[in-house]
Amino acid sequence: MLSIPECPADDNAGRGPAGGLRRTGSVRNIRDCTGLNNGLQRSLHPSAGLKPLFVSAAAMTLSDPGAPTQPANQVVLIGLMGAGKSSVGRRLAKRLGLAFVDSDDEIAEAAGCSIPEIFARFGEPAFRDGERRVIARLLSADAQVLATGGGAFMNDETRALIRRRGISVWLRADLDTLVQRTARRAGERPLLNGSNPRPVLEKLMAERHPIYAEADVVVDTGTEPPDDTASRVLAALVASGRLPPSLAQRASAEAKP
């Protein structure tokens, strides 16, 4: 199987303002999926002086994934497509003074093509393999807010790493909200292409919600502005007691309306 490297095989071309690859437009023509063809041979980032920027997912698999051994320094957003992980995540990062990273953007950059192209050309298993490895690399970074793709938390290894490296926040939305929100970026989500999104999302809710429920923090989201959701996430993070003290202080100041 062709594989997506953990790190981009190229420079910062195509990066959006927050450092992530823009979701649309620029992605398609960057390297035409060459990251997939190059696989792990080019998994060292050139700017890192040939030091690995990632930790292999296998090396990070824990014997006791249930026990965090260090303060959680990453805020990891999970939830179904359309839950608002990226828009809320960007706002959270800004208010916490942290970097924001979107795992789908990083996967697209590592692969050199968009998520729909990865699915279409190489299939979902290649995407899932890349997703697992890219997220393992992202979780080895310093404090940041990480928005993950809807399927990421379903992977046992990824879930264990998130538990170890961060504090997970499930943005829980009802079916109507998800249907409404996913319609806005129709075509960017291969699992929803070519079929009526409602039953697909309903099925995914049934399969995934029991696993998402393992998140450290659960925040319900609906039609309110993403800034309001971000405020409630900040309050929930503070209440969880799992943030390092410096972040907790800032989060509690920022959570106030």
Joined together, the tokens standing for residue 86 give 């990226």
Question: CB of 195: closest distance to ligand S3P in angstroms?
Answer: 14
Place of tokens 């050309």: 121
Using CB atoms within 10 Å of the CB of residue 232, give its burial: 0 to 12 exposed, 13 to 18 middle, 19+ buried: middle
Between CA 197 and CA 186 the distance in angstroms is 10
Indicate the DSSP class of residue 82: T
> Does residue 104 belong to the site contacting ligand S3P (CB under 6 A)?
yes
Indicate the DSSP class of residue 20: S
Query: Which of residues 81 and 215 has its CB atom nearest to ligand S3P in the complex?
Result: 81
Selected binder of ligand S3P within 81, 108, 135, 161 (CB under 6 A): 81
Question: CB of 63: closest distance to ligand S3P in angstroms?
Answer: 28
Site for ligand S3P in 143-162 (CB under 6 A): 149-151
Question: CB of 135: closest distance to ligand S3P in angstroms?
Answer: 10
From residue 197 to residue 236, the character string flagging contacts with ligand S3P as x (rule: CB under 6 A) and all else as - is ----------------------------------------
Amino acid at 113: C
Question: CB of 123: closest distance to ligand S3P in angstroms?
Answer: 12
Selected binder of ligand S3P within 7, 115, 171, 217 (CB under 6 A): 115
Between CA 49 and CA 24 the distance in angstroms is 30
Place of tokens 């450092």: 19
Question: CB of 84: closest distance to ligand S3P in angstroms?
Answer: 10
Between CA 253 and CA 257 the distance in angstroms is 9
Question: CB of 214: closest distance to ligand S3P in angstroms?
Answer: 16
Site for ligand S3P in 162-191 (CB under 6 A): 189-191
Between CA 168 and CA 244 the distance in angstroms is 14
> Does residue 133 belong to the site contacting ligand S3P (CB under 6 A)?
no
Question: CB of 41: closest distance to ligand S3P in angstroms?
Answer: 24
Please write down the long-range contacts of 183-187, taking CB distance under 8 Å and 24 or more positions apart.
Answer: 185/23, 187/116
Indicate the DSSP class of residue 213: T
Query: Which of residues 57 and 235 has its CB atom nearest to ligand S3P in the complex?
Result: 57
> Does residue 132 belong to the site contacting ligand S3P (CB under 6 A)?
no
Radius of gyration of the chain (CA): 17
Tell me the three state secondary structure of residue 231: helix
Site size with ligand S3P, rule: CB under 6 A: 10
Question: Which residues here bind ligand S3P, judged by CB under 6 A?
Answer: 81, 85, 104, 115, 149-151, 189-191
